[in-house]
């Protein structure tokens, strides 16, 4: 685990930028922050049944971050989303899904998110040892030309039968197929809750118009935040979102509802403030926001992962869901990287901005 001194050393001249910033637009006292009893604080008075509360508690109380209110989840569905050969050629061991589960266990993750096939093959051996999060829909890449759609790969009941603690799903907000995806996943989430499983939504934006000649607004703070707000409306218990890298998507693309005052009132250009807007759109932090770790670039992966964790934690987020940076390297190095990220959430000197 990384100590505060190690974190400062790793950040170098960027340390103060990330560690000393204070958010003044949406302040920390307005948020529900991650804490030991976060399930009681948020869901005890909700319509979630007792088995859902049990599943959420199982997630929040497993692994190295147990009892902190934070989550470290290992997601590996890239074999479908990005093609298996492209995803696993750097470490072919992960063609065998058992190694994915072993990585999550060895690294002390709160849970492992993967496919019906991968988790189902080893359910009897591992479902009681680490929380399973079954990803129920995917965008397969063999359709040509590729399209922005998510297709159900199995049923909620199948996930329940294999002992899953939660289901995960993606909606491509902004795509032509988003309304159908929204209906499918809202129904799936309702069924999952009735069976006692928790729900995690990958709230991604997809539309050719979101990428202009000068900027890619798929990860803009305003568009991703609105995607979060739609996701919690269909009762996602946890939101997965990319870390925002820009803003002014509605304004500069020229659609939706916006005005200059909304941007000036709610956020600044600082990455922590941009992420704070995402947290605010998750019912002021009551629904946990976990940011994704992004692709693997090699030597810079640890630094990038640490920065993402710092931004998420200091913004009021609930953790990281990091895959490629961990599994696209030797097993031991993947474990060490995940431990480094978890160290940010365990480090008391890394505080809410």
pLDDT tens digits along 176-225:
999 999 999 999 999 999 999 999 999 999 999 999 999 999 999 999 99
Q: Give the catalytic positions in this structure.
A: 240
How far, in Å, CA of 238 to CA of 296, rounded? Answer: 24
- The CA distances from residue 347 to 44, 68, 83, 106, 341, in Å, are 28, 11, 36, 20, 10
Section 18-25 average pLDDT: 98
Give CA separation, 336 vs 5, 95, 107, 145, 228, in Å: 17, 21, 7, 39, 30
Model pTM score:
0.97
CA distance 95 to 115: 12
The C-alpha atoms of residue 66 and residue 336 are separated, in whole angstroms, by 18
Which among 262, 268, 233 has a CA at the least distance from the CA of 250?
A: 262
Identify each DSSP E strand in 44-150 by its residue range.
Answer: 71-75, 111-114, 132-135, 137-138
Helical pair 271-280 and 301-315, crossing angle rounded to 10 deg? 50
SS3 289: strand
Categorize the per-residue pLDDT at 169 as very low, low, confident or very high, splitting at 50, 70 and 90. very high
Q: Give the pLDDT band of residue 55 (cuts 50, 70, 90).
A: very high
Where residue 128 falls among pLDDT bands split at 50, 70, 90? very high
What pLDDT shows up at residue 1? 65
């Amino acid at each position: 685990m990384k100590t505060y001194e190690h974190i400062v050393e790793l950040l170098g001249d960027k340390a103060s930028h990330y560690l000393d910033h204070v958010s003044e637009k949406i302040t920390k006292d307005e948020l529900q922050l991650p804490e030991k009893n976060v399930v009681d604080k948020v869901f005890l008075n909700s319509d979630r049944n007792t088995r859902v509360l049990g599943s959420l508690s199982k997630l929040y109380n497993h692994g190295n971050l147990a009892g902190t209110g934070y989550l470290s989840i290992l997601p590996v569905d890239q074999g479908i989303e990005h093609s298996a050969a492209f995803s696993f050629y750097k470490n072919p061991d992960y063609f065998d899904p058992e190694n994915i589960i072993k990585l999550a266990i060895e690294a002390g993750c709160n849970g492992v998110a993967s496919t019906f096939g991968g988790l189902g093959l080893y359910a009897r051996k591992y479902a009681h040892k680490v929380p399973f999060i079954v990803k129920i829909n995917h965008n397969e890449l063999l359709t040509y030309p590729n399209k922005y759609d998510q297709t159900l790969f199995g049923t909620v009941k199948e996930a329940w039968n294999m002992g899953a603690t939660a289901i995960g799903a993606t909606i491509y907000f902004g795509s032509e197929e988003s309304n159908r995806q929204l209906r499918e996943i809202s129904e799936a989430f309702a069924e999952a809750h009735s069976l006692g499983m928790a729900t995690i939504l990958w709230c991604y934006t997809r539309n050719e118009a979101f990428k202009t000649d000068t900027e890619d607004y798929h990860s803009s703070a305003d568009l991703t935040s609105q995607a979060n707000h739609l996701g919690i409306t269909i009762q996602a218990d946890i939101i997965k979102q990319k870390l925002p890298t820009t803003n002014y998507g509605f304004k500069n693309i020229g659609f939706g509802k916006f005005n200059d005052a909304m941007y000036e009132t709610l956020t600044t250009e600082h990455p922590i403030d941009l992420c704070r807007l995402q947290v605010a759109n998750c019912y002021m932090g009551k629904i946990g926001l976990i940011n994704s770790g992004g692709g693997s670039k090699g030597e810079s992966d640890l630094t990038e992962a640490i920065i993402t964790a710092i931004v998420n934690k200091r913004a009021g987020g609930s953790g990281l869901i990091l895959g490629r940076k961990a599994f696209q390297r030797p097993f031991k190095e993947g474990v060490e990287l995940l431990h480094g990220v978890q160290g940010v959430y365990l480090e008391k000197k890394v505080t809410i901005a």
